[in-house]
Structure 1
Amino acid sequence: MSQPEGFIDKKKRDFMCKLHKSLYGLKQALRVWYDKLKSCLLQWGFITTTSHTSLFIKRNQASVILILIYVDGILITGQNNIELEEFIAKFSTTFSLKDLGVLSYFLGIEVLYDTCCLYLSQKKYIKDLLTKFEMLECKGIDTLMSTGSKLQKTVQGEQGYFLEDPTHYRSIVGGMQYLVLTRPNIAFAVDKLNQYVSGPTLRHLMACKRVMRYLKATQDYGIKFVSNGEVKLTGFTDVDWAYDLDDRKSIGAYCIYIDDNLISWSSKKQSVITRSSAESEYRALASDNAEISWLQSLFSELGVCCTEKPTI
């Protein structure tokens, strides 16, 4: 690395510093941290999954321990509380650890429990987003987008002028992308708005703020999970053929359920122009099938058996 300010050798200004260990903030730091964490977990009997490189599993005859890693945020769960406590104590001897107890908040996602259900929401994240863009006091609305007209790259009239500073638009759309994790109902709108970040106009900004007003009115919305013991994968897919007015590409979408619980979803413009609605439908179907195949692979590594064959 370059010589840090205040520690520059005046006689050797062109010299570089050789690091004996990675520093926080460097682009190599994340890789070094993951390699160290992974090597320790493998020594302790964990195995890494092929479906997700950040998911580690340790099995014995009576129970299983699962670890999910996101940078330095770690989720640990298992079937035996005593084994979990022993592992956390062992983990803290090697790494500096702050045990936050039962999962309630992780990466902006709020987790709530009751006797039979699990709820995921991002109410605090939405409030922070509204505050950041000075829309906390805006009037909420019940609809995401106007159905009267479709968005385009160029529009005639006052609303068609390009924004002098597009960074404001890009910041809002970038902030909303993370909300799709618990708000599948905004996936289409966010994907559509994301297509105009290179040259947003006033009309695009108005549509973007409309989504923010919808979020203001629906801050408490989230996802609910209920377990009934069954593991049946069901996928639904659809496509809007030649929807985009600029390039006539189709918008494909799918959603996948375990029993009645929505676990995976996507709304995305297809990469090629299809000549018929049937072709675009088959492409959307292929995306849904690929996601279900990945979920089946993940379930097999977790030791979860589907009670029925997947249905699309």
Structure 2
Amino acid sequence: MEPPPSPISLCLILLVSLPQPSLASGDAVLHCCSLRCSPLPPLVADFVDPEHPNAVCLLDKSLYGLRQAPRAWFTRFADYAIKLGFNPTRSDASLFVLRRGHDIAYLLLYVDDIVLTGSSPALLQDIIQRLKLEFAVKDLGDLRFFLGIDVKRIAEGFCLSQQRYAEDILERAGMTNCKPATTPIDAKGKLSTDGPVIDDAKTYRSLAGALPYLTVTRPGLAFAVQQACLHMHDPRATHLALLKRILRYVRGTTTMGLYLRGSVDLTVTAYSDADWAGCPDTRRSTSGFCVYLGDALVSWSSKRQPTVSRSSAEAEYRAVANAAAECIWLRQLLGELHCGVTKATVTYCDNDSAVYMSANPIHHKRTKHIELDIHFVRERVQMGDLRVLHVPTGEQYADVMTKGLSTAAFEAFRSSLCVVPMNV
């Protein structure tokens, strides 16, 4: 499990910018978008012409529900944003950057929801007024809600929460008044495909499919949700028990959210870890990473590796390569936001062999199976963009992304993942 690009971009622009007005362009897809390819739906039965039974409708406007409507709206808005001076970023197609002298503005677009932020109130008002000349735009003031995420201003930063979304999932599951759990998964939470088949697989898929988006502000759930989603095609009783435990944990922590602490030192730091051969059925390893911008956690992942690793060093090095790739993407995105990172990214790993291989230029038998990852990481190390250092297991924050932990260890790592109550 890992957050999609738009919430990551939201975290970044909140961290690197000042006031944040929020815009919502009402029914712009319905009224403001003209399609390049005209939609041709069939006629309603009452309007069929007997002389032309094969005739179809030619619509003048894009309508909700048509497959090409969102793409046509995005193209329409992006073209106008470029006319205003915005440049789309290569790292995230929904993020636009405008720079005028010393002033800078960021625009994040998701369908008809827009977040606009910048360094100058005058620049923001000018952009808003020019958008209103072209679209039906409503200014909602300071950013408080976006993509189902509540945004709360607190000391030295922001807190992102999905309390309403979590309560909606609990209500759908009928677990609003359930007994809370202290952890989302136990320390032996490695599930196999054995066990009796559950009766209602559809409900399981519906609830499990709703949980990945909750990890946008709850990184501590990533590993447990990943385990539950791995078995959506054929859920068993043990998988249902895990799903219920996750929901019980969510019940006791609905008020918690992700704390984004601002920092003048924009350094990118990563922690990578792997659980070697952890899957009891396939013996594939689980890799995970956490990436921080300054003191704020901005990206994380818990994912089963696509192939079997023949050694723990190989599994750990694949995790390092995944973390390095994410860090490179974040550095590129920050560069496009005109907040370039000059210092090398430090990736912490608790495996000595993986740390040694990142700096060793000599190939040997232990590395031939991961030769591409070896070259990828080592090239970045030689360029000075990346450093791979050892970290003790007790300080490995990514441990929570790869395995179940005891209550004490989980709560300690959860605070390190910037997850705090919303009343901080």
Partner letter of residue 313 of structure 2? Answer: A
The higher-RCO structure (CA 8 Å, 6+ apart) is: 2
Task: Give how far 1:297 is off.
Answer: 0.5
1:66-85 → structure 2 map (5 Å cutoff) = 66-85=106-125
Q: Does 1:127 align with 2:167?
A: yes
Partner letter of residue 337 of structure 2? Answer: L
**Which residue of the partner structure matches residue 152 of structure 2?**
112
Partner letter of residue 70 of structure 2? Answer: L
- Which of 290, 294, 300 does residue 259 from structure 1 map onto? 294
Partner letter of residue 81 of structure 1? Answer: P
Higher helix share: 2
**Which residue of the partner structure matches residue 206 of structure 2?**
171
Provide closer, same or farther for how the CA distance between residues 127 and 301 of structure 1 changes in structure 2, counting only shifts above 3 A: same
Q: Does 1:64 align with 2:104?
A: yes
Q: Does 1:305 align with 2:325?
A: no
1:263-282 → structure 2 map (5 Å cutoff) = 263-282=298-317
Structure 2: distance between partners of 1:143 and 1:183: 13
| Alignment check: 8 A CA contact 1:238 1:284 kept | yes
Question: Which moves more between the two structures, 96-105 or 263-272?
Answer: 96-105
Gapped runs of 5+ residues in structure 2?
1-39, 348-424
Task: Give how far 1:116 is off.
Answer: 1.6
- Which of 39, 56, 75 does residue 16 from structure 1 map onto? 56
Percent of aligned pairs with the same amino acid? 36
1:204-215 → structure 2 map (5 Å cutoff) = 204-215=239-250
| Alignment check: 8 A CA contact 2:43 2:55 kept | no
Deviations 1:252-288 (A, max 9, x none): 0000111221111000000111111111111111110
Structure 2: distance between partners of 1:111 and 1:230: 23
Task: Give how far 1:148 is off.
Answer: 4.0
| Alignment check: 8 A CA contact 2:41 2:58 kept | no
Task: Give how far 1:307 is off.
Answer: 5.2
Task: Give how far 1:142 is off.
Answer: 0.6
Provide closer, same or farther for how the CA distance between residues 46 and 149 of structure 1 changes in structure 2, counting only shifts above 3 A: closer
| Alignment check: 8 A CA contact 2:279 2:285 kept | yes
Structure 2: distance between partners of 1:4 and 1:124: 41
Structure 1 length normalisation: TM-score?
Answer: 0.94
**Which residue of the partner structure matches residue 157 of structure 1?**
none
| Alignment check: 8 A CA contact 1:230 1:307 kept | no
Structure 2: distance between partners of 1:7 and 1:75: 44
Partner letter of residue 154 of structure 2? Answer: D
Partner letter of residue 130 of structure 1? Answer: L
Please tell me the root mean square deviation across aligned C-alpha atoms, in Å: 1.5
Structure 1: distance between partners of 2:283 and 2:41: 49
Partner letter of residue 74 of structure 2? Answer: Y
Q: Does 1:295 align with 2:335?
A: no
Aligned length: 307
Provide closer, same or farther for how the CA distance between residues 286 and 148 of structure 1 changes in structure 2, counting only shifts above 3 A: closer
Structure 2: distance between partners of 1:289 and 1:253: 12
Structure 2: distance between partners of 1:207 and 1:26: 38
Task: Give how far 1:95 is off.
Answer: 0.9
Task: Give how far 1:4 is off.
Answer: 4.7
